[in-house]
Amino acid sequence: MEKLFDPDQLSELVGSLTAWLASKGLSLENGLWVWALAQTALGVALYLLAKLIAKHLGPPIEHRLRQVSGKPRLLRFLAVLLRRLHWIVFLPLLWGAVAIMRVSTWPSRSYFLSVLASLATAWLIISVLSRIIRNGAVARLVAVSAWAVAALNIFGVLDDTVRLLDALAITFGDVRLSALIVIKSLVLCSLLVWAALAASRFLETKLAQNQDLTPSVRVLIGKIARIFLLLMAILTGFNIVGIDLTAFAVFSGALGLGIGFGLQKIVSNLISGIILLLDKSIKPGDVIEIETVSGTTYGWVEHLGARYTSVRTRDGIDTLFPNETFIATPVTNWSHGHKQVRQKLDVGVSYDTDVERAMALCLEAAAEQERVLQDPEPKCLLLGFGDSSIDLQLRFWLIDPEAGLRNIASDVNLAIWKKFKENDIAIPFPQRDLHIRSSEAIPPVALSRNTTEDGANS
């Protein structure tokens, strides 16, 4: 403990720190502390003044920005600047004070203020430029890392810090892993991954506008391009920072074992998704019906992902199904080969009805609906004779199942009901005849005997 807190070493450290501060005009000796205090007070006062000015300038500028339309990128950039308006006002005031102090007194007496101005300028520029990255976590990582490097450079200790981080290293055989390499890898890989994701989004947007390709091919190309770009970004980042990728060959066996057991479902869903895109059995826009544990889910395919498929129901709810579900479970695809689907509606009329007239009215009700196709034309069939009604069935075709099936069935049924009411055609309900067979009457003698016995007993 005495060696750890050696008074001579502590005194030497304090002396070195004091000498460095004195060279920057921040020494607490010979009265220089007064100038350090004055610079601090001036910096705080200028910041408060900038906040006050920005508070009065902000609302009018925001009102003018709200009147700009048709330029989303420019508006986004101006909104970023508006949120940093107090910093924009603060910097001219700060640099002006530095210029005045350098003219009126020794430059060392404005060193602290100039450092503060340099740090604020670097932070404003970096925070604005980092907003180009839409991923918030990556943007903050890049901003903090860039500002830390700028701050170390402003204080003149960047080279010493780099040497210190490079000295903090762990060696695995021929592999040397230092703190500097880890930091550089994180920052560089984050930037490259962001660039890869941005490039893949741009490619997917262009593919979505290409009508010559089918939806499944567009999604497949986009997913393959994203995986390829991400893999290249990570490998490029490791190569730039000097990490030998052959050193990871030792862990390939353990990684393969982990994928085989721990990531079995993920890999299964990934391969299933690629199969779905290749065989085109399920593609974005298809209307499907799938059996689940909770019942039948009916909707259209909204998105095909690497791990799951999003199905949107008529209630506006997105249900996420693992891709392997569509491989192992029967799925009804209403629009697999084509979008024409046939609807069947059962109708019953009484035996007193003119059946041919009722069938004609059913066809008229179907023909009046805009969504019902006339080619193939609707058909009305007499299926049989039921217990209470003559059973008819109306069949018609649709070309847009994604617009809903239950709603068009409701519209046609309502039209049939109105036409039947106008033409006095009855829709019967089940009727049953109940026959009660009379039982033998109770003899009067037996009835009086029972009554006498009851009175005697009472």
Whether residue 327 is contained in a domain is answered as yes
Percent of the chain whose predicted confidence (pLDDT) is above 70:
76
Is it the case that residue 449 has pLDDT exceeding 60?
no
Q: Which of 89-93, 148-152, 200-204, 235-239 has the lowest mean pLDDT?
A: 235-239
Q: What is the mean pLDDT of the chain?
A: 76
* pLDDT (tens digit per residue) in 44-74: 888 888 888 888 888 888 888 777 777 777 7
Residue ending a domain, among 102, 121, 156, is 156
Whether residue 230 is contained in a domain is answered as no
Q: Is 64 in the same domain as 114?
A: yes
- Structural contact between residues 296 and 242, judged by C-beta atoms closer than 8 angstroms: no
Is it the case that residue 254 has pLDDT exceeding 60?
no
Cis peptide before 444 (omega within 30 of 0): no
More confident residue, 92 or 224: 92
Q: Which of 55-59, 75-79, 290-294 has the lowest mean pLDDT?
A: 290-294
The CATH number assigned to the domain holding 324 equals 2.30.30.60
pLDDT range class, residue 438, cuts 50, 70, 90: low
pLDDT at 2: 40
Q: How far apart are CA 430 and CA 416, in angstroms?
A: 20
Whether residue 406 is contained in a domain is answered as yes
Whether residue 224 is contained in a domain is answered as no
Cis peptide before 284 (omega within 30 of 0): no
Beta carbons within 10 angstroms of residue 112's beta carbon: 22
Number of domains in the chain: 3
- Structural contact between residues 397 and 376, judged by C-beta atoms closer than 8 angstroms: yes
Location of structure tokens 């390709």: 213
pLDDT at 172: 65
Order of strands, edge to edge, in the sheet holding 308-313? 318-322, 308-313, 295-304, 287-292, 331-333
More confident residue, 239 or 309: 309
SS3 203: helix
Question: What is the pTM assigned to this prediction?
Answer: 0.44
Whether residue 260 is contained in a domain is answered as no
pLDDT at 255: 57
Q: Is 323 in the same domain as 415?
A: no
Q: Is 329 in the same domain as 346?
A: no
Residue among 193, 190, 180 at smallest CA distance from 226 = 193
Q: Is 411 in the same domain as 356?
A: yes
Within the chain, what is the greatest distance between any pair of CA atoms?
Answer: 140
pLDDT at 352: 84
The CATH number assigned to the domain holding 385 equals 3.30.70.100
Directed axis angle between helix 72-83 and helix 85-104, to 10°? 50
Q: Is 287 in the same domain as 414?
A: no
Q: Is 93 in the same domain as 51?
A: yes
Q: Is 366 in the same domain as 301?
A: no
Q: How far apart are CA 109 and CA 33, in angstroms?
A: 10
pLDDT range class, residue 1, cuts 50, 70, 90: very low
Q: How far apart are CA 200 and CA 88, in angstroms?
A: 35
Q: Is 357 in the same domain as 411?
A: yes
Q: Is 57 in the same domain as 133?
A: yes
Q: Is 287 in the same domain as 393?
A: no
pLDDT range class, residue 414, cuts 50, 70, 90: very high
- Structural contact between residues 89 and 54, judged by C-beta atoms closer than 8 angstroms: yes
Residue ending a domain, among 107, 126, 156, is 156
DSSP 8-class letter at 270: H
pLDDT at 458: 43
pLDDT range class, residue 150, cuts 50, 70, 90: confident
Q: How far apart are CA 454 and CA 144, in angstroms?
A: 104
Is it the case that residue 239 has pLDDT exceeding 60?
yes
pLDDT range class, residue 27, cuts 50, 70, 90: low
Q: How far is CA 377 from the centre of its chain?
A: 44
Q: Is 316 in the same domain as 405?
A: no
Q: How far apart are CA 105 and CA 112, in angstroms?
A: 14
More confident residue, 31 or 381: 381
pLDDT range class, residue 3, cuts 50, 70, 90: very low
pLDDT range class, residue 173, cuts 50, 70, 90: low
Whether residue 393 is contained in a domain is answered as yes
Q: Is 316 in the same domain as 345?
A: no
* pLDDT (tens digit per residue) in 353-379: 888 999 999 999 998 888 888 888 899
- Between strands 295-304 and 287-292, the pairing is antiparallel
- Residue 299 lies in domain: 283-333
Whether residue 57 is contained in a domain is answered as yes
Residue ending a domain, among 128, 156, 184, is 156
Whether residue 439 is contained in a domain is answered as no
